[in-house]
Amino acid sequence: MSSAATATASAHLRDPQARARAGALLAAVVVVWPLLVLADFKPWVLFEAGNLRVMGNFLAAFLPPATSTEFLGLLLTATLQTLAMATAGIALAWLLAVPLAFAMTPSLSVSRIGPGNGLRRGRMLRSVARLVLVFLRAIPEVVWALVFVRALGLGPAAGVLAIAITYAGMLGKVYAEILESGDTRPARALLEAGSGRLAALGYGLLPGAAQELASYTVYRWECAVRASVVMGFVGAGGLGQLMDQSMKMLNGGEASTILVTFLLLVLLADALSAALRRLLA
């Protein structure tokens, strides 16, 4: 093969976006490095001898996991409380999120398909729905839990309301984005033919977005399970409160069993998500 042919082949094999990607990588390093310095991020400290010894002693206390009948009974009750808190919170969040996402989705706006008096009103409605969703998700659920624990007292009810408020904002925002990111032409055609907005949603947008919507909802339910555990540390009950008690009593075996329960709950959520995607395929 001649040198000219070799040079041509090398030019074809060269990535045409190599410079752009290298520039993007360099820009990312320039931006991220000062942030790591500002956050005092020093992971090498973990591998110092003293710190390794402390972590080793701490982790060794987690073995063997606690398996006493009395503790397993408490664990079962706390797990059911956590599942109930997360599921009830997501259900309430869904009830709040769906109408807000419906109002915020531009492809379901009748006023956008042509001139009319409702164009300004439609824009205002979408803006109000967007601001409500921003407010709902702006405050972390643990802050809401602290507020509701003061108002309602210790127990899962505070966690349910905290999850419902924060996750309504998250679900509504992502629902609207999922509905808008798919093929919106069927919904627009239905609206132009005189169909109602609910029919355009059900027959125009949902068939193509059902899998993604279901997957994201189950993922948020999984996040709600983890969040309910965190809120247990502030008195919202469930596995978090049991974990807090075990850690305060320096009972690593009980903490280990609770961590295994966390893992099983995440596996349950993953299996449920896969099953729903297969069902909606």
Are residues 32 and 135 both part of a single domain?
no
Helix segments in 105-232, DSSP class H? 119-138, 141-152, 156-181, 185-192, 197-199, 206-232
| In contact, 180 and 105? CB cutoff 8 Å | yes
Dist. CA 29–CA 26, nearest whole Å: 5
Q: Is the pTM of this model over 0.85?
A: no
In a domain, 12, yes or no: no
pLDDT at 114: 57
Q: Report the distance separating Cα 243 and Cα 241, nearest Å.
A: 5
- Same domain? For 163 and 199 the reply is yes
Number of domain units in the chain: 2
Residue range of the domain that includes 29 = 17-57
49 with 101, same domain: the answer is: no
Q: Are 236 and 172 in contact (CB under 8 A)?
A: no
Q: What DSSP letter does each residue of 54-78 carry, written as one string?
A: HHHHHHHTT-SPP--HHHHHHHHHH
The answer on 45 and 96 residing in a single domain is: no
Q: What is the pLDDT along the chain (281 residues), one digit of tens a residue?
A: 555 555 555 555 566 777 777 778 888 788 888 887 787 777 777 788 787 888 787 778 778 888 888 888 888 988 888 888 889 999 999 999 999 988 888 777 766 665 556 667 767 888 888 899 999 888 888 888 888 888 888 778 888 898 999 999 999 999 988 888 877 787 788 877 777 778 888 787 888 888 888 888 888 888 888 888 788 777 777 788 888 888 888 788 888 888 888 888 888 878 887 787 777 66
